[in-house]
Amino acid sequence: MSSMSKRTTKPTVRSKALRIAACLFGAGATITGIILSQSHTESKLFPRREATAQTVPPFDRTETVRTQVPTTLPGRQTFLLIGSDERVQSAGGNSDVLCVVSLDHEHKRIEMLSIPRDTQVAFPDGRYHKINDALAAGGPSLTCRIVESLIGIPIDHYAVTEFDGLVHIVNRLGGLDLDVPRNMYYRTGDKVHGVIRLHKGKQHVNGEQALGFVRFRHDALGDIGRTERQQAFLVALKDQLLRPESLPKLPAIAMDIIHSVNTDAPPLYLGMLIAQSHRLKAYQTIHATLPGSFHDPQSDSPGDLSYWIVNPKEARYVAKQFFVDGIVPKNPIQDPIVTKTWQAPSDVSLNSGADS
């Protein structure tokens, strides 16, 4: 054996310190999870209400993919992140943000698929609604069921956060670095977080500004532009969380999540997940928006609403390509004819959960 092969690199003092800190934090986060699990209460119940419905589906029912969703996908943890326009403790709010986030340990990827809030989907009663109505109609559990049916990917846990929780967590981290694509000014009409005011360019933003960044939708692309900014926010949040200087703050952030996020994930599970978060620094991050087309209300159709129309078969095909193969769709915005007549390539199987 040559002297070259025997040579080892001596770890620096900084790398040793970071590894020790990570180990200590891992132990602390796990212990915190165990303690919190003793006082964990069930997720709050969301009463049902009637959502605005569309009775005529955009596709024949025979075209809708009805395959069974697998109960789990090995080697990954998948969450549905739900941003509510009401307080977590309140009922009746719709979802302002819907993003499926999967930690793919096999391929070492963090995958984020945004679903526009105006996506038209079938509810269990057979009628068609906007997907953001699901939170108020049946809570996060119904939202998860509808998303699973839409994309054919099983969801392990949900996490619902409201505006105040997002602001507090960003401020706890000391802010985020974001690239604001345009000047943004809008009065939301809310008593709290009532004004969105951001200038174009790269900048370090606080929690209030970050909230405005993900909420703003008054641009040419409307909801699709907003999903792109929400993805940019999540990437920036991930980058900030994984910086060495954020490591000492993670136990406090874990407590913030427990108190400001409504989730069905046990605190022990969350503690262990956060304890292992330093491993995600090497993971590739990919993000996409579920493709579809805009539908504007028709003046001759009373009660018609604006929707984001997706082809059910295409939704599952895109999700399989994205989560399993890591393929990102190039452009989510389609001509309505393309959406309606879309066909999958013959050499790719859509029905991953169907019998062969």
Structural domains in the chain plus CATH codes: 48-266+278-341 (3.40.630.190)
What pLDDT score was predicted for residue 261?
Answer: 85
Q: What is the pLDDT of residue 123?
A: 93
To the nearest 5 percent, what fractions of the chain are helix, strand and coil? Answer: 40, 20, 40
Which residues, in sequence order, are CB contacts of 48 under 8 Å at separation 6+?
Answer: 137, 138
Q: CA nearest 34: which of 269, 276, 264?
A: 269
- In this prediction, residue 293 carries a pLDDT of 96
Which positions of the chain have pLDDT values less than 50? 2-10, 13-67, 87-91, 347-356
User: What's the predicted TM-score (pTM) here?
Assistant: 0.77
Structure tokens at 283: 């993971």
- Give the model's pLDDT for residue 92: 54
Q: Alpha-carbon distance 309 to 54, whole Å?
A: 12
In this predicted structure, what is the pLDDT of residue 71?
57
Distance CA 350, CA 348 (A): 6
* Burial class for 147, CB neighbours closer than 10 Å (0-12, 13-18, 19+): buried
Cα separation of 235 and 227, whole Å?
12
CB 244 within 8 Å of CB 152: no
Nearest alpha-carbon partner for 111 in 346, 258, 322: 322
